[in-house]
Structure 1
């Protein structure tokens, strides 16, 4: 009975806890965590929520990791702690992406691209420091300095599908919390890769177990959790708009999540007449991604936002806006 009572609070007790938190309104107990994407923050009621699970989906190549890493960088840059669980990317690759992002923010079109920075950092013909390798690139030293400003607050956990389970995610979050004195935001890239011990289960069961565990972790720790999720075969069909029902384990995911955001290529989801009457729009639409807030327990949903892609610099423009064109679920044209 003791363990049950420890998890049970009267409203008067909750009032006291909330009053104490607000009187000591430290960043470590923030309820709303701005994402750094102004249009998205307005749509979400200020940003991601402590105690909330947010899912991010989209077809391959739409920029989910680029967006999530940039969001994590924005949060760390604001002074908060972040743990990025990377199942798909090497930590040094994420570092290279961050340097490219910062260079792009500093110099825009005149900045060196991701591939140029990667080539310089991976050159095995020389034995020099990272500072020396970036010294001759436009904005290279400044980009590295910008990364160093938040480097101690952005943690990357090299996760694997064979060993990283919910317990390891929780233990890592607690270690970062204790070491930094701050509640961290968690980014899981991606949910279906989280190991589920025990007998093999189907996608629906596995997704439900992981989503429920991440939701419990977010509530118990008062931390926001952002998890990327994979699609079924129908959701990755070219020219089709991905929706919530296309997610692997969709019913379990939709139930547990507080917010669901889905990326699509704008060219794939814009109505045909926008191209018929202005064929020059075709190339323009290829340069944008549409982020739809399909579920939002803390505010309005059904909102379509567009963000300009700068993938050669591993970033999106932070200045997004609501989509004005008509969108469709199936493009149905070449």
Structure 2
């Protein structure tokens, strides 16, 4: 998580600056991660306040924008590119209009901003003036699709390797669907060559409607294999494949099909749950379908992954210390969590 917003509307008696320090100290104690806290009337101003809290050590990581004696002076010192949602291209356009700092954007003409940058641009200006335009989102945005995509470890030319990769990605996609409690009603498989090789370029995508919608790995792999065969064309060196599940609907809210063959849904759900449980407890793909293969040669190279110091017992740091005895110095090794 890079950031999170917290509504403080009910904190009428608390000193918000002190509460920000409490949040910062708690996060530091529980996770060891230093954070900055910005407090303001709008999300955009709160982001700027958090940015300023990082820059000045005397603020101790917390800035309540509403307590500033001259907030406009602070805005005038900030480059317009620091504003939430303003990227490189938008910053260049604003600079072309003579708007180089945040205060100038705050004071910009609303009509001009809306005409050039639309409603989102206008909302940003209003937020800088203290008018909330981006509401809190207590409920997560519904998932509309699930995508699993990886580049291969080397260029692939054989259909068998492509199918193994697609089956693997489909398995991951199905696991995500089950974790989210969703069913897929539409499934797509894509594959392509490298963009950086101008010769012999090729890309293809094939899709299928799934009726009734499902998150059953076996069903999705069956459809994915047919799509991969249809999309594959010999004679090309493939770099990447992707699977996309769309037309998602919550489990239990899908009407059954009158024409589909009868399936013991309860048994299939128990089977998928058992597989997920075993793979969580043991290791990914401890139990898997044969379509994934045994020793994939196409897999992404991962020799240089960072060590998982805080999440994997086998990669906990080893601290080597010297312990002196009366006779001699002996070197001992202790494993500890830093």
Bucket of the pairwise TM-score, normalised by the shorter protein: under 0.3
TM (norm. structure 1) is: 0.24
Give the number of the structure whose alpha-carbon radius of gyration is greater.
2
Bigger share in helix: 1
